[in-house]
Structure 1
């Protein structure tokens, strides 16, 4: 009987640990370009004092044969002509009722200068984010995968 209780307790503990890991998107994430498949940048996501999450670019990752842009030239104010390094690209993401999803925030594409509504789905035991940026309804958008870097 004690063995059974130990197995049940361990299973509950491990399950709770996995849920917690999937619930927290804080950390450093490697962004993967949905068109080329190459890594573009490292984004650090932090939980803000109001309980929302935001992310800023902490490193730009050049790919072979391509010189990355360094400034957000087409971005709206207050981001116009600001360096991409240090730029807040994810803002005001709130946890939804589903513990593995976040919504209600925005994501900025520094290459196009466009800001989109955003939705995040945490997958692969908290090691991947499926980022969805869209205008209007979610169907009209594009997705990108971010992989936990640290």
Structure 2
């Protein structure tokens, strides 16, 4: 009887550990973005999977600079964006779309830099056992671009 309980307990522990590991092998989740130039945290971004396509939405802005803040002092707007994003609130904005998994990398989509209004191709890869996300924005070839390392949030 004791051995059966121990076996059941060990099985539950293994299943829980496997679930935790599986949750970290994908970019899906909440991330703190870290600016590659200043090293400062800039936002909390939520990455979701919609039928195999990854999308990212800015949930919260952090360490806002004066140019991030609209005239009313409350809402940061995407002043330099084009099209439907022009002068729209940055919080709640979809900044990444069209990204699909290709082995251990996610690519094929685009990412918006709300600070500049520019849209780049994007490539994502997991680091540090899924606790960090390498986000590479580029034009043309992936070796011509910039990378940021985002930190997974609970």
Q: TM-score normalised to the size of structure 2?
A: 0.79
Shift of 1:103: 0.5
Structure 2: 5+ residue stretches without partners: 1-6, 69-75
Relative to structure 1, is the Cα distance of residues 122 and 81 closer, same or farther in structure 2, using a 3 angstrom cutoff? same
Matches within 5 A, 1:70-81: 70-81=76-87
Matched, 1:114 2:118: yes
Structure 1: 5+ residue stretches without partners: 1-5
Deviations 1:33-89 (A, max 9, x none): 0000000000011111x21110100000026xx335111111121111111010111
List structure 1 segments (4+ residues) > 4 angstroms apart after TM superposition: 12-19
Alpha carbon RMSD of aligned pairs, Å?
2.2
**Contact 1:29 / 1:44 at 8 angstroms: preserved in 2?**
yes
**Contact 2:111 / 2:122 at 8 angstroms: preserved in 1?**
yes
Deviations 1:85-110 (A, max 9, x none): 10111112111123xx1011111000
**Contact 2:25 / 2:129 at 8 angstroms: preserved in 1?**
no
Secondary structure of the 1:121 match is: strand
Structure label with greater radius of gyration: 2
**Contact 1:62 / 1:68 at 8 angstroms: preserved in 2?**
no
Relative to structure 1, is the Cα distance of residues 68 and 149 closer, same or farther in structure 2, using a 3 angstrom cutoff? farther
**1: CA distance, partners of 2:115 / 2:128:** 28
